Amino acid sequence: MTISKDFLWGGAVAAHQIEGGWNEGGKGISIADVMTAGKHGVERKITDGILDGENYPNHEAIDFYHHYKEDVAMFKKLGLKCFRTSIAWTRIFPLGDELEPNEAGLQFYDDLFDELLKNGIEPVITLSHFEMPYHLVKKYGGWRNRKLITFFKNYATVCFKRYKDKVKYWMTFNEINNQVHYQRDFSVFTNSGIIFKEGENREEIAIQAAHYELVASALAVQIGHQINPEFQIGCMLGVVPVYPYSCNPEDMMSATKAMQIRNGWYLDVHCRGQYPRYMEKYIERKGFVLDRTDEDFKILQQGTVDYIGFSYYFTFVNKAHHNAPNFDYNEHTDKVKNEYVQASDWGWQIDPLGLRYDLNWLYDHYQLPLFIVENGLGAVDEISNQQIQDDYRIEYLKAHIQAMKDAIEIDGVEVMGYTPWGIIDLVSAGTGEMKKRYGLIYVDKDNNGTGTLKRMKKKSFDWYKQVIESQGEIL
């Protein structure tokens, strides 16, 4: 088995990290719009609305809203077969609970998708990528409220109907499993728009929110297939393989439980339409009281996904900390450094072989087509003689593409496509920085928001162009 001719070589971004135009064209305030700039080791603040004197980097981002034609032209020169982005929910429904959509927002994506298709680039679209309406947070408490299922259903229906002849590949919720890290405010806020109150059971609330999102996702899958049976609608998870620290049986068991809780149960619901037994036992043992109806379970069974989209950046290593026999997953206490791999400037462990492990684990479990929709290296890029020699990025991507090829050619894994993250420099989701660059295209802007926004190819641009042209044969 080799890489097929219809393999989707592309690049990935998210609307809130590139578009800007935060208050143009009738757009409402999203959760990304109330997050300030942070940096490595300094969390982004979530403010109560837009406050004077704060730096909100997503407000302008790289101004793709006004530069998209120029950027798409560069994507064409790069040879992209697809472009993964998201629809900003607040461009379509500024508040999120309206009955009628915002025509200006719908027209923007009509224009963008037309531009992509005109240049031979397939849109790959995520419906909810860390940019839900902030109004839904303030009025309804985010995804802790069942009413959001209806709001998302309405939003998805409008998008599917409007773009039924322009978009074939869809994903529902981006990295839905990030909220397993419920101890971190950022993770649950960006996923679900939830701001915790003192004394609340964070884990119970995060699981409840995920349940509502999974039901909403399943409804969207059903509606999408009714509107256009040719749609390919997938889920999207940040799938982080968890290795055991040693051959100590307790470390092995700790890693197994971590894989279940961090990755497995969300995928089981998305792909099989049911909660796995270990998750039901976990909910029972924890004493969680969840709002889950018989109708919910029917919807989940009827709305399973067509493929698995996932991001891969790194692997974790788990060491058991005297937590037998339950071995409950706790990222804060169980995660340890892997001495066998290097790390990025931001401390992300670099493990290309882990991608092959990921692909095998996913395909073994679910036998569904896999789509690597994020993979990349955040690094500091320096301009020298009007050039950016980002050999470190080339090395990173080359090693990961080779691991993907090995999974396809040696292991027989079915992979639909590969879209490295940040095909163009963008605002970092986690830190709000521009300094943490992922792109193969440089954008002149710094952490303070200053710069010309001029676009410029990096060395990795021509390298990736060659990879695409050779169907991955030349790395």
> Which are the catalytic amino acids?
175, 374
What gap in Å lies between CA 409 and CA 283, rounded to an integer? 40
Altogether, the residues listed in the chain come to a count of: 475
- Least Cα distance to 116 among 78, 75, 157, 145 occurs for 75
Cross-strand partners of 235: 308
- Cα distance from N-terminal residue to C-terminal residue, the chain: 18
Q: Report whether 129 contacts 152 (CB < 8 A).
A: no
Structure token pair of residue 44:
């982004």
Q: Is the peptide bond before 57 cis (omega within 30 degrees of 0)?
A: no
What gap in Å lies between CA 146 and CA 112, rounded to an integer? 32
Q: Report whether 259 contacts 357 (CB < 8 A).
A: no
What gap in Å lies between CA 61 and CA 426, rounded to an integer? 7
Q: Report whether 447 contacts 455 (CB < 8 A).
A: no
Using alpha carbons, list the distances in angstroms from residue 343 to 50, 311, 316. Answer: 35, 17, 12
